[in-house]
Amino acid sequence: TEACLSAIETSDALNAFVHKTPEIALERARAADARIKAGDAPAMCGLPIGIKDLFCTQGVPSQAGSRILEGFLPQYESTVSQQLADAGAVMLGKLNMDEFAMGSSNETSVYGAAVSPWRRSESETALTPGGSSGGSAAAVAADLCLAATGTDTGGSIRQPAAFTGTVGIKPTYGRCSRWGVVAFASSLDQAGPMTKSVRDAAIMLGAMAGHDPKDSTSMDIPVPDFEAMLTGDIKGKKIGIPKEYRIEGTPDEIETLWADGAAMLKAAGAEIVDISLPHTKYALPAYYVIAPAEASSNLARYDGVRYGHRATLEAGDGITEMYEKTRAEGFGHEVQRRVMIGTYVLSAGFYDAYYNRARKVRTLIKKDFEDAFAQGVDAILTPATPSSAFGLGEMGQTDPVQMYLNDVFTVTVNLAGLPGIAVPAGLDHQGLPLGLQLIGRPWEEGDLLNTAYALE
Ligand code: GLN
């Protein structure tokens, strides 16, 4: 814990930790020491971790990367961060992220972007660690903590993991409690671990997962010992390669890496089969209707009364001006854009044309995966991202859709509620990490982790 705290002190340039909690960390580390001495050490006893700013942490600033939550000190702890603390993990502080988890580069954060510890071999351009869990990825990759929590609505665990050479798993929807996790798109949001290895991910997911009566969408099914399932034996497993993920413009080196990954699994005894997920091309548009729709509803609660920031009002201003000024000041541009899109697609007259249609597409995407699993496929292998990390300020400045395209391989998994994991797969020609994604059957994170273990 002390080593991590001093590494954090000398790594301000990465802008990964936006709120440090050294007193809490040292107190928990001492408690962990005592538990170890008493021979009562739980799974993560004494392990220093970072917590994404999206998780409410009791008495500790929790701003979801937004100005509108300035000064908000939660009265309660999120279930996931509480379970991690119960498992002995030591919280070092809160990690940077895109505002309300909306983004793929951490650039929408009120704190400014987190910076990747990676650099292109030929230049010094500061690179994005990805987003929205950019602070988590940067912190783990730079050894500021042993692991971190992330959340993933459309790829926010897997894309930053791929960009930083770390491991990130988005569990099955309902595996981890969303209680106390600031809501973005409630039917898509899931918490998950970001770690240095598949084994660490297995251990940490075990501590984070489980039924929570406070979240009606968390499932009451047993959490297996994920770590014990890491045998590396994948003989006879059927791995699907979906042809729709071969999209135009994907760099050759990503194609090569994907083929190499398949070859590695084959060499370990798996059977590689070509599959089709025919509705893949509709996933991104459907996601960018459904996620903003849910966000516009979830963010209605930030009204200047109940939480955080309130605009300074002028004489004569009424409650409407208070809402308007507070929300105009408190939300950044990307969040405002999503609230507008969401409100639009949910409005009378447009609801059927956009929101309802997107929901139908979502059902078809889910069915594509069900059909593949019904054919005996155990896991699906795809690239995690269409490129390696891009430079800060290089993407989406004039056209937000350019940024959205980054999520093309990850959003399908959230729409279908499935578990997906990103594992480091090698470096590109610039010396930057690239990741592969494995998608598993619902509730079979153990199997998925084991397949990823064979790929690691
Ligand atoms: N980049 C996607 C978005 O902006 C996903 C974000 C996430 O998973 N939280 O919506």
Integer Cα distance of 48 and 28 in angstroms: 9
Half-sphere exposure of residue 425, counting CA atoms within 13 Å on the CB side? 35
Which of 132, 290, 404 gets mutated to test ligand 1 (max ligand atoms within 8 A of its CB)?
132
Integer Cα distance of 211 and 276 in angstroms: 33
Check if 132 is active-site.
Answer: yes
Neighbours of 210 (CB within 10 A): 18
Shared-domain flag, residues 299 and 446: no
Q: With contact defined as beta carbons under 8 Å apart, do 145 and 20 qualify?
A: no
CATH number reported for the structural domain that contains residue 123 in this entry: 3.90.1300.10
Shared-domain flag, residues 75 and 89: yes
> What six digits make up the tokens of 296?
């516009």
Q: With contact defined as beta carbons under 8 Å apart, do 137 and 113 qualify?
A: no
Shared-domain flag, residues 133 and 37: yes
Cα of 189 from ligand 1 centre, angstroms? 9
Check if 243 is active-site.
Answer: no
Shared-domain flag, residues 295 and 430: no
Residue whose CA is closest, atom 4 of ligand 1?
Answer: 103
Which of 318, 352, 386 finishes a domain? Answer: 352
Which of 314, 333, 352 finishes a domain? Answer: 352
- Expressed as residue numbers, the domain containing 217 is 1-280+356-456
Which of 352, 379, 407 finishes a domain? Answer: 352
Shared-domain flag, residues 91 and 112: yes
Number of domains in the chain: 2
Pocket of ligand 1 (CB under 6 A): 101-104, 132, 152-156, 184, 291, 407
Shared-domain flag, residues 147 and 46: yes
- The model's pLDDT over 289-344, given as tens digits with 9 standing for 90+, comes to 999 999 999 999 999 998 899 999 999 999 999 999 999 999 999 999 999 999 99
Which amino acid is present at 286? A
Cα of 319 from ligand 1 centre, angstroms? 32
Shared-domain flag, residues 163 and 259: yes
Integer Cα distance of 239 and 256 in angstroms: 17
Q: With contact defined as beta carbons under 8 Å apart, do 235 and 268 qualify?
A: yes
Q: What ipTM was predicted for this assembly?
A: 0.98
Closest-lying ligand 1 atom to the alpha carbon of residue 133: 9
- The model's pLDDT over 229-276, given as tens digits with 9 standing for 90+, comes to 999 999 999 999 999 999 988 899 999 999 999 999 999 999 999 999
Q: Angle at CA 405, nearest 5°, toward 401 and 408?
A: 145
Residue whose CA is closest, atom 5 of ligand 1?
Answer: 154
Shared-domain flag, residues 168 and 293: no
Give the closest residue to 127 by CA, choosing from 162, 100, 153, 156.
162
Grouping H, G, I as helix, E, B as strand and the rest as coil, residue 433 is: strand
Shared-domain flag, residues 222 and 76: yes
Shared-domain flag, residues 223 and 121: yes
Alpha helices in 271-399 (DSSP H): 283-298, 319-330, 333-346, 357-374
Which of 153, 169, 401 gets mutated to test ligand 1 (max ligand atoms within 8 A of its CB)?
153
DSSP 8-state class, residue 23: H
- The model's pLDDT over 76-100, given as tens digits with 9 standing for 90+, comes to 999 999 999 999 999 999 999 999 9
Shared-domain flag, residues 221 and 293: no
